[in-house]
């Protein structure tokens, strides 16, 4: 996977930003500001939605970083449907005002990648983990710890982008994907992991710590 140096506006959004700005300028020129205002509001929304700021990586090799911006929906013992194990599950919900760039929670090798087509129910619902369109990564750290990170489409989201494949290596905080227009990320950790975030917490990809590995 090629290096992505955080150009502030995510590359996935460049067509949306350019088209919306061009439309706003064109309507302003032909019809004036009053008619163009809705187009400028759309352009402003596109700019804020596709922002992709750089983040500072916290110290601590055992820290599991949040893979997404948003609110923690749940922290509970659950079943990892990909590695068929009991696990500590975190879910982070992203609304349309959050940054939607997804980052690796740990250093490790991608052992396997799964993609499942599915529905587009509200990503805040528990059933979204198993029913919605999703893309999952199995990441194994250098000490053999298995982490499963799942991008899940939402009610509005219609495009999950994941740029890594089995055999790729990821560094903590490294950008590996993007979900357009509202979504959710689930994270499955060993039961021995110690939670550092709670339900309702606002978290930020890379800079927030969700848990510590044992």
pLDDT in tens, 158-175: 678 999 999 999 999 999
Which residue matches tokens 């499955």? Answer: 188
Residue corresponding to tokens 């609304």:
95
The helix (H) or strand (E) run that includes residue 178 is strand 175-179
Whether 183 has a pLDDT exceeding 80, the answer reads yes
In the structure encoding, which two tokens stand for residue 195, read together? 């939670």
Beta bridge partners of 136: 114, 150
Q: What is the pLDDT of residue 121?
A: 63
| Confidence at residue 106, expressed as pLDDT on a 0 to 100 scale | 97
Q: Tell me the whole-structure pTM to 2 decimals.
A: 0.88
Region 91-109 average pLDDT = 93
Confidence of residue 7 (pLDDT cuts 50, 70, 90): confident
Residue 113: which H helix or E strand, with range? strand 108-116
Phi then psi for 21, rounded to 5 degrees? -70, -40
pLDDT of 120 above 90: no
Fold of 63-212: Glucose Permease (Domain IIA) (2.70.70)
Using the CB atoms, write b or e for 110-137: b if 16+ within 10 Å: beebeeeeeebeebeeeebbeebbbbbb
Q: Which residue has the tokens 């922002």?
A: 51
Please, which pLDDT band fits residue 154 given cuts at 50, 70 and 90? Answer: confident
The two beta strands, 183-189 and 146-153, are antiparallel
Torsion of CA 123, 128, 131, 135, to 10 degrees: 70
Q: Looking at the annotation, which residues are catalytic?
A: 183
- Give buried/exposed letters for 189-209 (b at 16+ CB in 10 A, else e): bbeebebbbeeeeebbbbbbb
pLDDT tens-digit profile of 38-57?
999 999 999 999 999 989 99
Is residue 118 very low, low, confident or very high in pLDDT (cuts 50, 70, 90)? confident
Q: Is the pLDDT of residue 122 over 70?
A: no
| Weakest-pLDDT range from 24-33, 39-48, 83-92, 155-164 | 155-164
Q: What is the pLDDT of residue 104?
A: 97
What is residue 182's DSSP assignment? S
- Residue matched to tokens 């990648």: 113
Residues 202 and 159: their CA atoms lie apart, in Å, by 24
At 66-85, the pLDDT tens digits run 999 999 999 999 999 999 99
Question: What is the model's pLDDT at position 214?
Answer: 87
For residue 106, the tally of other CB atoms under 10 A from its CB is: 25
Nearest residue to 128 (alpha-carbon basis) of 177, 85, 89, 175: 89
Domain positions in the chain: 8-52, 63-212
Q: Helix (H, G, I), strand (E, B), or coil: what is residue 3? A: coil
Rounded to whole angstroms, the maximal C-alpha distance in the chain is 63
Distance CA 100, CA 98 (A): 6
144 has pLDDT over 70: yes
């Amino acid at each position: 996977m090629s290096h992505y140096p955080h150009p502030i506006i995510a590359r996935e959004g460049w067509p949306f930003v350019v088209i919306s700005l061009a439309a706003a300028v064109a309507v302003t020129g032909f019809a004036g500001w009053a008619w163009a205002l809705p187009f400028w509001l759309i352009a402003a929304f596109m700019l804020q939605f596709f922002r992709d700021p750089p983040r500072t990586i916290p110290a601590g090799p055992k820290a599991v970083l949040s893979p997404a911006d948003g609110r923690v929906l749940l922290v509970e013992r659950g079943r990892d449907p990909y590695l068929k194990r009991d696990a500590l599950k975190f879910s982070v919900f992203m609304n349309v005002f959050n940054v939607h760039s997804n980052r690796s929670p740990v250093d490790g090798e991608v052992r396997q990648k799964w993609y499942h087509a599915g529905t587009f129910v509200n990503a805040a619902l528990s059933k979204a983990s198993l029913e919605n369109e999703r893309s999952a990564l199995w990441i194994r750290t250098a000490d053999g710890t298995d982490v499963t990170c799942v991008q899940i489409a939402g009610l509005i989201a219609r495009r999950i982008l994941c740029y890594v494949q089995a055999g790729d290596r990821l560094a903590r905080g490294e950008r590996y994907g993007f979900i357009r227009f509202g979504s959710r990320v689930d994270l499955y950790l060993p039961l021995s992991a110690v939670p550092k975030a709670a339900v309702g917490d606002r978290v930020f990809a890379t800079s927030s710590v969700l848990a510590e590995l044992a």
